[in-house]
Amino acid sequence: SGTTIVSGAYIAFIPELNLGIAIEANNGNAPLAMFGKAILAILLEKDPEVEIPFLQVQKKFGKLVGQYTSYSKIYSPKIIIKNGMLFYKLKVGNFIDKEAPLIPKNLTEENNEFYMYNMGKIEPVKFIIHESGDINLLIERNNFRKVRG
């Protein structure tokens, strides 16, 4: 695959199966390699969400997106996806308006630990997914509960 900033292309062949794919776009930012790999997975009767790591990560991120609230409901941060990354977003009146990317500790399906840069320090961020499907968000000493998706 490659791009010239204003256009891009992806080409892949599996000679043993006499199978190939070529994709072109007049957009240099289109994720053509991911599209091509997804199409190849489908042609090979495989699940793209299993075969393509980016889709696995996005599926995992999708579970974490939503509105959270503290026990006392004083703070209600949101977790959003922006440009393929998770972001922590908190707005409280006119005095707190914060948005920070959550940097994954690693991208395995089992790991739900992230880091966030906050007021000059790196803070650990952890999501706990319970068997019931409930999700808690732990940041420093704060425990937030997911209230809507």
* 82 vs 110, more confident: 82
Neighbours of 10 (CB within 10 A): 21
Q: Are 125 and 46 in contact (CB under 8 A)?
A: no
| CA dist., res. 81 & res. 102, Å (int) | 10
| CA dist., res. 98 & res. 89, Å (int) | 6
- Predicted local distance difference test score (pLDDT) of residue 53: 79
Across the chain, what does the average pLDDT equal?
Answer: 89
| CA dist., res. 138 & res. 55, Å (int) | 25
Mean local confidence (pLDDT), 135-146: 93
Exposed, middle or buried: residue 40 (CB in 10 Å: 0-12, 13-18, 19+)?
Answer: buried
Least-confidence region, from 15-19, 85-89, 96-100, 122-126:
96-100
pTM recorded for the entire structure: 0.73
pLDDT of 114 > 70? The answer is yes
- Predicted local distance difference test score (pLDDT) of residue 109: 62
Where residue 6 falls among pLDDT bands split at 50, 70, 90?
A: confident
Where residue 95 falls among pLDDT bands split at 50, 70, 90?
A: confident
